[in-house]
Structure 1
Amino acid sequence: MARRLALVALLAACALPCASSAPAAAGNSLERLIGTRLVVGVDGPTATPALLRRIRSGRVGGVILMGRNVRSAPQVRALTGSLRAAAAEARRPILIVTDQEGGAVRRFRWAPPAASADEMGRLGEAALRRRGRDTARALERLGLDVDLAPVADVPTVEGSFISRQRRGFSTIPMRVAKSVTAFSAGLLDGGIAPALKHFPGLGLATKTTDRVAVAIDADEAALEPGLVPYRRAIAAGVVPLVMVSNASYAAYGARPAAWSPGVLRLLRGLGFRGATITDALEALATTQRMSLAESAIRAARTGVDLLLFVGSERSTERVFDALVAEARAGRLPRAALERSAARIGELTATYAG
Structure 2
Amino acid sequence: MTDELTRLASSVLWPGFFGTSVPAWLRAALEDDLAGVVYFGQNISSDLASLSAEIHAANPHALIGIDEEGGSVTRLEVATGSTLPGAAQLGALDDISASEATGAELARRTRAVGVDVVLGPVADVNTDPRNPVIGVRSFGADAALVARHVAATVQGLQSGGAAACVKHFPGHGDTHLDSHHALPVIALDTSEIESVHLEPFRAAIAAGVDTIMTAHIVVPAWGEQPATLNPAVLGRLRELGFEGVIITDALDMAAIRESVGIGGGAVQALAAGADLLCIGNPTNPGDAAASDQDEQDFLAAREAIVAALRSGALSRERVEQARDRVRALSAKLAAATPAEAPAFDGAAIVRRALRVTGELDAVASALSVVDARRRSTLAVDSAASYVAEALAGDGFRVRLDVARATDEERDAALAGAAAAGGRLVLLIDRPDVDAEQRELVERAARRDPHAVVVNAGLAAQHPLSLPVVEVGAASRIGAEAARSLLIHGA
| TM class by smaller structure | 0.7 to 0.9
Q: Which of 29, 37, 50 is equivalent to 1:63?
A: 37
Measured against aligned partners, the alpha-carbon deviations of 1:209-263 in whole angstroms (never above 9, x if no partner) come to: 11111111212012120111111221232x1100010111112112100111110
Q: Which of 317, 322, 334 is equivalent to 1:340?
A: 322
> For residues 285 and 267 of structure 1, what CA distance do their matches in structure 2 show?
21
Q: Is 1:273 aligned with 2:243?
A: yes
1:1-353 pair list within 5 angstroms:
29-58=4-33, 60-72=34-46, 74=47, 76-88=48-60, 93-109=61-77, 114-121=84-91, 122-162=93-133, 164=135, 166-224=136-194, 225-237=196-208, 239-284=209-254, 288-310=258-280, 311=282, 312-351=294-333
Could you tell me the percent identity over the aligned residues?
A: 34
How big is the shift at 1:267?
0.5
Q: For structure 1, which segment, 290-299 or 202-211, has the greater mean C-alpha deviation from structure 2 after superposition? A: 290-299
> For residues 162 and 57 of structure 1, what CA distance do their matches in structure 2 show?
35
Q: How many residues of Structure 1 are paired with residues of Structure 2 in the alignment? A: 317
How big is the shift at 1:138?
0.5
How big is the shift at 1:106?
0.6
For residues 321 and 162 of structure 1, do their structure 2 counterparts lie closer, same or farther at Cα, with a shift above 3 Å needed?
closer
How big is the shift at 1:192?
0.4
Q: For structure 1, which segment, 291-300 or 125-134, has the greater mean C-alpha deviation from structure 2 after superposition? A: 291-300
- Please tell me whether the aligned partners of residues 85 and 102 of structure 2 are also in contact (alpha carbons under 8 angstroms): no
> For residues 119 and 85 of structure 1, what CA distance do their matches in structure 2 show?
38
- Please tell me whether the aligned partners of residues 259 and 299 of structure 1 are also in contact (alpha carbons under 8 angstroms): yes
Gaps of 5+ in 1: 1-27
Greater relative contact order (CA < 8 Å, ≥ 6 in sequence) = 1
How big is the shift at 1:195?
0.4
SS at match of 2:252: helix
For residues 251 and 113 of structure 1, do their structure 2 counterparts lie closer, same or farther at Cα, with a shift above 3 Å needed?
farther
Q: For structure 1, which segment, 281-290 or 248-257, has the greater mean C-alpha deviation from structure 2 after superposition? A: 281-290
Report the residue type matching 1:84 in the other structure. Answer: H
- Please tell me whether the aligned partners of residues 95 and 352 of structure 1 are also in contact (alpha carbons under 8 angstroms): no
SS at match of 2:137: coil
Measured against aligned partners, the alpha-carbon deviations of 1:26-83 in whole angstroms (never above 9, x if no partner) come to: xx9322321110001111111112210111122x1110000011122x2x11211111
Q: Which has the larger radius of gyration?
A: 2
| Structure holding more helix per residue | 1
For residues 44 and 251 of structure 1, do their structure 2 counterparts lie closer, same or farther at Cα, with a shift above 3 Å needed?
same
> For residues 31 and 184 of structure 1, what CA distance do their matches in structure 2 show?
34
Report the residue type matching 2:119 in the other structure. Answer: L
Q: For structure 1, which segment, 209-218 or 285-294, has the greater mean C-alpha deviation from structure 2 after superposition? A: 285-294
Report the residue type matching 1:273 in the other structure. Answer: E
Measured against aligned partners, the alpha-carbon deviations of 1:71-117 in whole angstroms (never above 9, x if no partner) come to: 22x2x1121111111114xxxx0000001111121101179652221
Report the residue type matching 1:105 in the other structure. Answer: V
> For residues 315 and 187 of structure 1, what CA distance do their matches in structure 2 show?
30
Q: Which residue of 1 aligns with 2:473?
A: none
Gaps of 5+ in 2: 283-293, 336-490
> For residues 80 and 40 of structure 1, what CA distance do their matches in structure 2 show?
14
Normalization by structure 1: what TM-score?
Answer: 0.85
- Please tell me whether the aligned partners of residues 207 and 214 of structure 1 are also in contact (alpha carbons under 8 angstroms): yes
Report the residue type matching 1:99 in the other structure. Answer: D
SS at match of 1:105: coil
Q: Which residue of 1 aligns with 2:481?
A: none
> For residues 240 and 81 of structure 2, what CA distance do their matches in structure 1 show?
33
SS at match of 1:322: helix
For residues 290 and 339 of structure 1, do their structure 2 counterparts lie closer, same or farther at Cα, with a shift above 3 Å needed?
closer
SS at match of 2:69: strand
> For residues 79 and 281 of structure 1, what CA distance do their matches in structure 2 show?
24
- Please tell me whether the aligned partners of residues 154 and 207 of structure 2 are also in contact (alpha carbons under 8 angstroms): no
> For residues 229 and 21 of structure 2, what CA distance do their matches in structure 1 show?
33
Report the residue type matching 1:161 in the other structure. Answer: P
> For residues 179 and 305 of structure 2, what CA distance do their matches in structure 1 show?
24
Normalization by structure 2: what TM-score?
Answer: 0.62
> For residues 154 and 62 of structure 2, what CA distance do their matches in structure 1 show?
21
Structural RMSD (CA): 1.8
- Please tell me whether the aligned partners of residues 305 and 340 of structure 1 are also in contact (alpha carbons under 8 angstroms): yes
SS at match of 1:216: coil
> For residues 138 and 348 of structure 1, what CA distance do their matches in structure 2 show?
19
How big is the shift at 1:318?
3.0
- Please tell me whether the aligned partners of residues 145 and 352 of structure 1 are also in contact (alpha carbons under 8 angstroms): no
How big is the shift at 1:157?
2.4
How big is the shift at 1:317?
1.8
> For residues 94 and 124 of structure 1, what CA distance do their matches in structure 2 show?
35
SS at match of 2:306: helix
> For residues 256 and 275 of structure 2, what CA distance do their matches in structure 1 show?
21
